[in-house]
Homo-oligomer: A and B are copies of this chain.
Amino acid sequence: MDSIDRALLRALQENSSRSIADLAEIVGASSSSCHRRIKSLEAAGIITGYSALLDPQRLGLKLHAFVEISLESQSRTSMERFEAAVAGFDDILECHLTSGNADYIVRIAAHDLEHFDRIHRGCLSLLPGVSSMRSSFAIRTIKRGKGYPTG
């Protein structure tokens, strides 16, 4: 992992559909070296895959919500039951266990408030062992970076 690798990762996060020749020019290396570097970054598991980025607005997903969820019990079984239920719901885009007392942060995308209400009642409220939930709606996205900083 040198500065050329980092530049490669930056360029590939920003746009992965460039040709290797273009990438080589951007990072200042030869095409073959570039190709080898990408292959080893993939083999090392640093690059985990390639994905198409979609515009949620144009998919009609105009509502983003962050929901903080606390469990009644922090026992291992109740957490496992909760997490298994989360995995089953497609409307839950993301879920993290956070510091504190068995709190989770969940990210939801919905078409509108009515859809969010349906998700809330037909999905979030069905999660087992929940003691409290607090929803924040994203009114406007200030910044949405593509991926991670490479240092």
Q: Does A109 contact B (CB under 8 A)?
A: yes
A143 touching B94 in the complex, CB below 8 Å, given contacts A56-B148, A148-B56:
yes
Residue in B14, B64, B97, B147 whose beta carbon sits within 8 Å of that of A139 in the complex:
B97
Residue in B9, B92, B94, B97 whose beta carbon sits within 8 Å of that of A54 in the complex:
B9
A142 touching B87 in the complex, CB below 8 Å, given contacts A59-B46, A98-B66, A109-B149:
yes
Q: Does A76 contact B (CB under 8 A)?
A: no
Q: Does A93 contact B (CB under 8 A)?
A: yes
- Report the Cα distance A61→B104, complex, angstroms: 20
**Contact residue range for chain A?**
35 or more
Would B51 and A50 count as touching, CB distance under 8 A? yes
Q: Does A27 contact B (CB under 8 A)?
A: no
Would A61 and B13 count as touching, CB distance under 8 A? no
Residue in B46, B105, B138 whose beta carbon sits within 8 Å of that of A98 in the complex:
B138
A16 touching B16 in the complex, CB below 8 Å, given contacts A44-B58, A98-B138, A99-B139:
yes
Please name 4 further chain A to chain B contacts, defined as beta carbons within 8 Å, in addition to the given A13-B54, A16-B50, A96-B139, sorted by A numbering: A15-B49, A16-B52, A44-B58, A97-B141
Closest 4 CB pairs of A and B: A12-B52, A96-B138, A95-B142, A98-B136
Interface residues of A (CB under 8 A from B): 9, 12-17, 44-56, 58-59, 61, 64, 66, 83, 86-87, 90-100, 103-105, 109, 136-151
